[in-house]
Amino acid sequence: MRNDLELLLRLQVIDYDLGELERSKDYLPDMMENLTREIKDAKEKLADTTGRLEEARVAQKNLELELKTRETELQKYQQQMMSIKTNKEYDALVAQIDSLKAQISDGEDKLILTIELIDRLSEENKTLEEKHQQVEENNRKQLHILQEKIDSIGDKVTDKYNSRKEVVSSITKPVFSNYERVRKGRGGRAVVAVKKNACSSCFKALTPRKIQEIKRGEKVLTCDYCGCLLYWDNEESA
């Protein structure tokens, strides 16, 4: 029976590995999706800032053109001041000049704000571009590694199932049936060590008689409380 316990412990490791491989089928694609989303988000943020920066630069050019046009008109009207002959013409020309000066002042204010916006967006764009490159490079590497893991899962599962069949074939059928019942019922470890004279699964104390039987290893014994198969480990049981 001691051989059965050794085989059960090997089987339990294989079953744990199989469980991890099955779970990886779910979480690895989720991890890849998150990495891909990070790349997309970084790219979209960079594109948004780049677009706003280009719009601001176009606005700057338009404002500069408008200001140049207004300043040319202002110079023309100011020159006309030298040739006016009536108060009515004078008042009309002054009104036009004042209007142009107000437009020029407003345009200059807008131009200053636009230049400040361009400076801010340029810095933001530089930061986002560096972040995008970093995220793209790091995440692509991770995606490649994760894809390799996904591609290898099938072969690993096949290898583990082959190993499992080999181990199971060497375990006595009643012991294996008991192991399967406990494993499926508890959804976790079925074979556990005795720790401090208690079951290490439910932590219930074992009788001295049962502890001696477990130490002898003549048959596979189970915990009376949780049903786990018990074994004696000199290091863990101390």
Q: Where among 92, 118, 153 does a domain terminate? A: 153
Determine the Cα–Cα distance for residues 84 and 222; give it in Å rounded to an integer: 116
Please, which residues bridge with residue 231 across strands?
193
Judgement on whether residues 34 and 112 belong to the same structural domain of the protein: yes
Q: How far is CA 159 from CA 108, 164, 189, in A?
A: 75, 9, 21
Judgement on whether residues 84 and 50 belong to the same structural domain of the protein: yes
Q: Is the pLDDT of residue 182 over 70?
A: yes
Q: Is the pLDDT of residue 2 over 70?
A: no
CB 17 within 8 Å of CB 161: no
Dihedral angle at the C-alpha atoms of 179, 23, 161, 192, nearest 10 degrees?
-30
Q: Is the pLDDT of residue 238 over 60?
A: no
Judgement on whether residues 180 and 144 belong to the same structural domain of the protein: no
The predicted-structure confidence for 42-92, as pLDDT tens digits, reads as follows 999 999 999 999 999 999 999 999 999 999 999 999 998 888 888 898 899
Determine the Cα–Cα distance for residues 148 and 128; give it in Å rounded to an integer: 30
pTM of the model: 0.67
The predicted-structure confidence for 94-147, as pLDDT tens digits, reads as follows 999 999 999 999 999 999 999 999 999 999 999 999 999 999 999 999 999 999
Domain tally, the chain: 2
Judgement on whether residues 138 and 196 belong to the same structural domain of the protein: no
Measure the N-to-C terminal CA separation of the chain; round to a whole number of Å. Answer: 22
The amino acid at residue 117 is: L
pLDDT of amino acid 150 = 93
- Which residue segment(s) compose the domain that 56 sits in? 26-153
Q: Mean of the per-residue pLDDT values for the chain? A: 93
Judgement on whether residues 119 and 182 belong to the same structural domain of the protein: no
Domain containing 66 — which CATH number?
A: 1.10.287.1490
Q: What is the mean pLDDT of residues 203-219?
A: 92
Judgement on whether residues 93 and 133 belong to the same structural domain of the protein: yes
Q: Is the pLDDT of residue 24 over 70?
A: yes
Judgement on whether residues 216 and 139 belong to the same structural domain of the protein: no
DSSP the chain: -HHHHHHHHHHHHHHHHHHHHHHHHHHHHHHHHHHHHHHHHHHHHHHHHHHHHHHHHHHHHHHHHHHHHHHHHHHHHHHHGGG--SHHHHHHHHHHHHHHHHHHHHHHHHHHHHHHHHHHHHHHHHHHHHHHHHHHHHHHHHHHHHHHHHHHHHHHHHHHHHHHHHHHTTS-HHHHHHHHHHHHHHTS-SEEEEETTEETTT-PBPPHHHHHHHHHTSS-EE-TTT--EEE--TTTT-
Q: Is residue 7 part of a domain?
A: no
Q: How confident is the model at residue 223 (pLDDT cuts 50, 70, 90)?
A: very high
Judgement on whether residues 103 and 181 belong to the same structural domain of the protein: no
